[in-house]
Amino acid sequence: MFIDEARILVKAGDGGNGCLAFRREKYVPRGGPSGGDGGHGGDVVMVADPHENTLLKYRYNPEHKAQRGRHGEGSNQTGAEGHSIDLDVPVGTVVYDEATGERLFDFTEPGQRFVVARGGKGGKGNARFATSTHQAPTEHEPGQPGDEKRLRLELKLLADVGLVGFPNSGKSTLISRISAAHPKIADYPFTTLEPNLGVVQIENFRSFVVADIPGLIEGAHLGHGLGIQFLRHIERTRLLAHLVDVSESSGRDPVEDFETVMRELASFNEDLVKKPMIVLATKMDAAQDPERVAALRNLAVERGLPYFEISSATGQGIDALKHAMAERVMLPAA
């Protein structure tokens, strides 16, 4: 199950209390104060793990607490520090403070670490308060509480190319054709219920990642269809591939389909419609009306967008498309 959002509670360990004690030994008539400091509480640390790909485990395990520090003891013994805990999250996770909405950290590379909640400091024992004029102090400090936060975790997939378009516009079929991904493919709307990633290999061992997200329909920003919550997964992409079904079987106008999807993208994030984009006329093997194809081609020309005609069923235009994508998202091979 693919889960891309979760809310959790994190609690760092409290610091241990400082100890109030005096040294009492047979041959030490003036032992003096000997209360040790409390140990520091453990931290809660988030770590970007390349082997994680979903936030599922946090959906069903929402509370994470580090160990508190031990209290100080006599004979100037400092309490043991509490154990910190690591929370593994997928690369691409963004951490927000749920109370304020502040973005705390964005995990973009494997191995990144972020202390999301710091443990409390241990309190001082009474031995720390001894002076030449105050030789029998009874003062000692309590440990400080560790941070406690409610967080919202949001996963944004890291992909180079994002596929957008109406349901059944051919996104899943295309990603299965150009990569080793095997998404569900069927002849009905909303076959894709969660984002899929595929790695596209080209010559010289170069590759790039393509993300296929569920289809958009008019009113998606109002919750129609599957909504627009999956659009966060293409916010990081360098290129959008806008697929438009030009076959008669869709029963819709290709130009209107294009405009509808663009409006839904803009309603989610204005920056999405400003990203580099290519227009793909799909299902060319079933396109029998040249005027439908020409209308979409003219629209792409008017907007200055690269235009390709493809058929994932027959392979028409697929190789040219792969190289066009690679040119726009990758550096030239050495």
Structural domains of the chain ordered from first start: 1-155 (2.70.210.12), 161-329 (3.40.50.300)
Write the pLDDT tens digit of every residue in 98-121. Answer: 999 999 999 999 999 999 999 999
- Whole-angstrom distance, CA of residue 302 vs CA of residue 286: 25
pLDDT at residue 332 tops 60: no
Name residues whose C-beta falls within 8 Å of residue 203's C-beta, 6 or more positions apart in sequence. 333
- Has residue 182 got a pLDDT over 80? no
User: What is the separation of C-alpha 122 from the centre of its chain, rounded to a whole number of angstroms?
Assistant: 34
Check pLDDT > 60 for residue 281: yes
DSSP track, 227-294: -SGGGGGGTT-SEEEEEEE-SGGG-S-HHHHHHHHHHHHHHH-TTGGGS-EEEEEE-GGG---HHHHH
Residue-wise pLDDT for 16-58, tens only, equals 999 999 988 777 777 789 999 999 999 999 999 988 888 989 9
- Summarize pLDDT for 126-167 with one digit per residue, the tens: 999 999 889 889 999 999 999 999 999 998 877 889 999 888
Q: Residue 330 has what pLDDT?
A: 72
Q: Is 319 within 8 Å of 312 (Cβ atoms)?
A: no
Phi, psi of 65 (to 5 degrees): -125, 135
- How do 307-309 and 277-282 pair as beta strands? parallel
pLDDT at 229: 64
Give the other-Cβ count within 10 Å of 200's Cβ: 22
Note the pLDDT of residue 222: 55
Question: Do β-strands 93-97 and 148-155 pair in parallel, antiparallel, or remain unpaired?
Answer: antiparallel
Can you tell me the distance from the alpha carbon of 261 to that of 231, in angstroms, rounded to the nearest whole number?
11
User: Could you tell me which of 176, 298, 178, 172 has the C-alpha nearest to residue 246?
Assistant: 298
* Strand, coil or helix: 87: strand
Global model pTM greater than 0.85: no
